Amino acid sequence: MARAILTDIEGTTSGISFVKDVLFPYARRALPGFVRAHGSEPGVRKWLDAVAAENGGMCRDEMVVEVLQGWIDQDRKHTALKALQGMIWAAGYRDADFTAHIYPDAADGLVRWHAAGLPLYVYSSGSVPAQRLFFGHSDAGDLTRLFSGWFDTEIGGKREVDSYRRIAEAIELPASEVLFLSDVVEELDAAREAGMDTVLVDRREDYPEARTGEATGGHLRVETFDRIDPQA
């Protein structure tokens, strides 16, 4: 029986196409102007310098921007890219250029579990500020009040077992009392190895071919949040 739920975002609460077709292109387009306008602010500079250092210490911001745009095209889950994307998306949400997609069953499930007293946590490759913006401006309104905590790759990669151990420690629960929801089997494998319960959320909109048999990695598989029973 779960005493807390930890959820992924992209492909789990929300559609992959919103992230790929709306958020990523917005960040790609806005990146050069954002770096010109904010590149000297310490909170931005630190990430630009980290990217430059990883690429042989190049100094021109234009080159860093090109590297970052390449990473967006490759869907790299790099902490520096994710931090900068979050800052850029803030303007998009503020100007109501978009709201964040959330599957209605996911919004309903989160509201229901919260009302039942289950603490809810997010673990996504998106930065914590980006997660807060996402759920603060979702298609179902501001859902941030539902969450008791937020984790991103600053705690470790999503396919690394230690990340899940650290999250359990941070929320002060044994891993065995945490239920992790994700669309990515490798993430679920890492969470299971850390001792968490796991559910593969296999959405037809994101994965037109249902994952069955070995492709589920042996994780319980559902297509919507309605099918998840945290008491099981």
Q: Interface with ligand L4RZE5RM includes 163 (CB under 6 A)?
A: no
Residue span binding ligand L4RZE5RM (CB under 6 A) among the ranges 104-112, 119-127, 139-147, 224-232: 119-127
Residue (11 or 109) nearer to Mg ion, CB: 11
H-helix or E-strand spanning residue 62: helix 61-74
Least distance CB 76 / ligand L4RZE5RM (angstroms): 9
Q: Which of 2, 4, 5, 9 binds ligand L4RZE5RM (CB under 6 A)?
A: 9
**Distance between CA atoms of 218 and 104, rounded to whole angstroms?**
27
Residue (11 or 86) nearer to Mg ion, CB: 11
Could you say which of Mg ion, ligand L4RZE5RM, none residue 23 binds, taking C-beta under 5 to 8 angstroms by partner kind?
A: ligand L4RZE5RM
Q: Which of 109, 119, 124, 150 binds ligand L4RZE5RM (CB under 6 A)?
A: 124
CA 98 vs CA 47, 63, 79: distances in Å: 25, 29, 23
Q: Which of 2, 5, 6, 19 binds ligand L4RZE5RM (CB under 6 A)?
A: 19
Residue (58 or 136) nearer to ligand L4RZE5RM, CB: 136
Exposure string of 62-99, with b = 16+ CB inside 10 Å and e = fewer, is: eebbebbbebbeeeebbebbbbbbbbbbeebbeeeeeb
E strand map for 64-222: 120-123, 147-151, 178-182, 197-201, 220-222
Residue (137 or 165) nearer to ligand L4RZE5RM, CB: 137
Could you say which of ligand L4RZE5RM, Mg ion, none residue 19 binds, taking C-beta under 5 to 8 angstroms by partner kind?
A: ligand L4RZE5RM
Between strands 178-182 and 147-151, the pairing is: unpaired
Least distance CB 158 / ligand L4RZE5RM (angstroms): 6
Least distance CB 187 / Mg ion (angstroms): 7
**Distance between CA atoms of 146 and 139, rounded to whole angstroms?**
15
Cα-based angle 136, 139, 140 (whole degrees, multiple of 5): 75
Could you say which of Mg ion, ligand L4RZE5RM, none residue 225 binds, taking C-beta under 5 to 8 angstroms by partner kind?
A: none
Least distance CB 21 / ligand L4RZE5RM (angstroms): 12
CA 78 vs CA 15, 81, 84, 98, 142: distances in Å: 20, 5, 10, 24, 27
Contacts of 42 (CB under 8 A, 6+ apart): none
Is the separation of the CB atoms in 164 and 191 below 8 Å?
yes
Contacts with ligand L4RZE5RM by CB under 6 A lie at: 8-11, 19, 23, 77, 82, 85, 124-126, 130-131, 134, 158
